[in-house]
Amino acid sequence: MKVSISASGAVLLGKHVACDAFDEAKPLRVVTHAHYDHMLGLKQSLEKGEAVVMTPATKDLIEVLKGPSFLTEGRIKILEYKETLTYEEEKITLHYADHILGAAQVLLEDADGTRIVYTGDFRLPNTPILEADILVMEATYGNPAHLRPFGEAIENVLVSLVEQGLRKGPVYVFGYHGKLQEVMQMLNDARVEVPFIVPEKVFQVSRVCKKHGMRLGGCLLSSDEDAQVMLQKSVPCVAFYHMGSRRYVGKDAFRVCVSGWEFKSPCRKRTENEYVIALSDHSDFNGLLQYVEESRPKLVITDNYRIGDAVTLAREIEKRLNIPAKPFPS
């Protein structure tokens, strides 16, 4: 079989390529982006594989998230979008995916001319849809109930909510790396002109994002004396923290959590001072179906290793689009 997904989460394409997890039988490893569930077994790939392929931005983000000594330069192969790597009879090309900075889709063309596409994580409408004979796709929102009809209204709701909170003092925004920087860019573009305060890791990720063209404005480290004074004296500012810090910081402040798992409304009030904004970096159910329909594959494999609804999505693809679809691993 030309495509599979292993029990350890490796998306196996053609004869030579494993994506997003280690597989000892494949000499090439592709990292589609720098989220933890797509960097599985990366140390093993660096030690045992012939090359680990990624975009320049993904490399820079991994060096921040894992430490500068984590990547062994000799085994890293950097590919720009639309640049092709040939390995024996197979050609591997990375294409842009709208997800986090550096995210990529993988196109593998084999000796028979078969086009195998692995989407990685993506969001429409800004992700180009690639024609495929075999399509391997994410299934995060693979349930028909996972519909998000708000579209671009999310940005306006988010900006308005932050501006509302700033009238009272500091606003704490909680999210994951990549999504936090997306929020920074939205607020910067909307001319929300207050200091942005961030802890060290968010600062380093943001610096990489700015290097690669994101418009984030200036950031002040939370450990700086000026930042601490602002927060203590309730000076209007926006503090950006990883979602994992939500229990520990800004407990009594105005808080905004950005989450893709909100579908009924763009904004939900959780407590008197805490709100959830339905900002996602994944396509909803309709977006997943749209990709399949326009890609026109002969077979679809849905990723049943990572979080999502791969079994349901495969069933719905067969029912609605009459295209054979299977969840892997089964």
CATH 3.60.15.10 fits domain 3-145+282-328:
yes
Structural contact between residues 326 and 301, judged by C-beta atoms closer than 8 angstroms: yes
pLDDT of residue 182: 96
Six-digit token string for 255: 């808080």
Q: What are the structural domain ranges in the chain?
A: 3-145+282-328, 153-277
Which tokens is 141 given?
């929102």
Residue type, 240: F
Q: What is the DSSP letter of 162?
A: H
What's the CATH code, domain 153-277?
3.40.50
Tokens 């009879």 locate to 89
* pLDDT value of position 73: 65
How distant, in Å, are the alpha carbons of 31, 265, 300, 324 from that of 4? 16, 36, 11, 15
Q: What is the mean pLDDT of each run of 10 residues along the chain (330 residues)?
A: 95 98 97 96 93 97 91 86 97 98 98 97 97 98 94 89 96 96 96 96 96 93 94 94 93 94 92 94 97 98 97 98 97
pTM of the model: 0.95
Q: Which amino acid appears at position 272 of this protein?
A: E
- Chain centroid to Cα 182, Å, comes to 11
Residue 73 CB coordination number (10 Å): 7
Looking at beta carbons, which pairs linking 202-207 to residues 24 or more positions away fall under 8 Å? 202/177, 202/240, 202/241, 202/242, 204/64, 205/61, 205/64, 205/65, 205/177, 205/178, 205/180, 205/181, 206/180, 206/181, 207/64
- pLDDT value of residue 237: 96
